[in-house]
Amino acid sequence: MPDERLENLSKIFKPKKIVHARIEISDTATIEEGDVKNETISQKAIQKMRTSDAFILLLRHFDNGLPIDPSGEFRTIFSEFVLSDMAQIELRLERIKKQGGKKDNPIVQQEKTLLERCLLHLNDEQPLFTMVETGTEGKMLRGFQFLSQKPMMVVINFDEISFEKSEKITMDLKSSLFHGNNIPIVAACAKLEAELALMPSEESAVFMEEYGIKETIRNRIIQLACKTLGLIFFLTVGDDECRAWPIKKGLNAQDAAGTIHTDFYNKFIRAETVAYDDFMRYGNFAECKKAGVWRLEGKEYIVKDGDIITVRAGN
């Protein structure tokens, strides 16, 4: 993933290795050729999708011989998510019923009550990510890998002509489809982007201005995916390596240290911390200390995006 901060720090430290954060986007076949008439998603695709952290729903707004209907495409996919989750819940509730409900087991009873509430929510055609749950309930649901519980974003692929009206079309779709749900939506023209990718930087800048493209779809999708997943990045620097580490927003210093190595979590003492902007302002750690922007933080410190961290851990 491109990160200008990492590039700038690497110019200062001149490390042997630069390691950018990675985000994996896989193209999952959803409505396969054999299922087009029934407009269903294959079970094979659903099983693969359950292991994903989030979804990018790519909708068509160009002529390919079939009616242009991004709203219909969204509803088809969304309905499949809901139906798949309902079937999974009903199966689990049936198993609990066959086992006599395990009335003496409070955890099973809590699970049963929660799943029944989820079923009512889905019957109202509401995704599970809009349902408010406690921390314990969230952990309980996580194991099911429900499709409608996962965060999602929408990319609408326009042709060159309709792309000029893409802003209005996307806003209309957002208000009519999502019913107030905060699902990010992005307009793109894959054909233009493909041409753009082959151009020298000087030509691409003129091309982007001509079509009103402020940023490439690649960068926009990466940024939106990180926002959808609730990711931020902290940085580690040195002569050997400069690296960007993705973590969930709200993670504390000890948990963040654990993403580097489990020993750093288990033997965590302190985190030497300075914000990226402060470091670039003063140029090195010594000057940051003099200016009072270099800090020693404990394990409960909530890591911020762009923090440069050095972990102090015991032997």
Question: What averages of pLDDT result for each successive group of 10 residues across the chain (315 residues)?
Answer: 93 96 80 48 81 90 86 87 94 88 77 94 89 81 92 91 85 72 85 87 83 84 90 96 96 97 96 98 97 97 98 92
**And the tokens for 267?**
């033997």
Long-range pairs for 65-71: beta carbons < 8 A, 24 or more residues apart: 70/156, 70/173, 71/173, 71/176, 71/177
Long-range pairs for 275-284: beta carbons < 8 A, 24 or more residues apart: 275/304, 275/306, 275/307, 275/308, 276/5, 276/9, 276/235, 276/306, 276/307, 276/308, 277/306, 279/9, 279/308, 280/8, 283/12, 284/12
Which pLDDT does position 36 carry in this prediction?
43
The order of strands in the sheet holding 268-275 is 17-19, 241-248, 231-236, 307-313, 268-275, 295-297
pTM above threshold 0.85: no
Q: Report the distance separating Cα 251 and Cα 155, nearest Å.
A: 29
Q: State the residue for tokens 């309709």.
A: 162
Residues 6+ positions from 208 with CB-CB distance below 8 Å: 196, 214, 216
Backbone angles phi, psi at 153, to 5 degrees: -135, 160
Q: Report the distance separating Cα 81 and Cα 66, nearest Å.
A: 24
Long-range pairs for 59-62: beta carbons < 8 A, 24 or more residues apart: 59/154, 59/155, 59/156, 59/157, 60/156, 60/157, 61/156, 61/157, 61/158, 61/159, 61/162, 61/166, 61/169, 62/157, 62/158, 62/159, 62/162
Which pLDDT does position 97 carry in this prediction?
87
Q: Report the distance separating Cα 158 and Cα 164, nearest Å.
A: 9
Helices 106-123/135-142 angle, 10° precision: 80
Which pLDDT does position 30 carry in this prediction?
56
Hey, what domains does the chain have and what are their CATH numbers?
4-22+231-313 (3.10.20.30), 23-230 (1.10.150.300)
Q: Report the distance separating Cα 190 and Cα 217, nearest Å.
A: 8
Q: Report the distance separating Cα 63 and Cα 49, nearest Å.
A: 28
Burial of 257 (0-12, 13-18, 19+ CB in 10 A): buried
The order of strands in the sheet holding 185-188 is 55-61, 152-158, 185-188
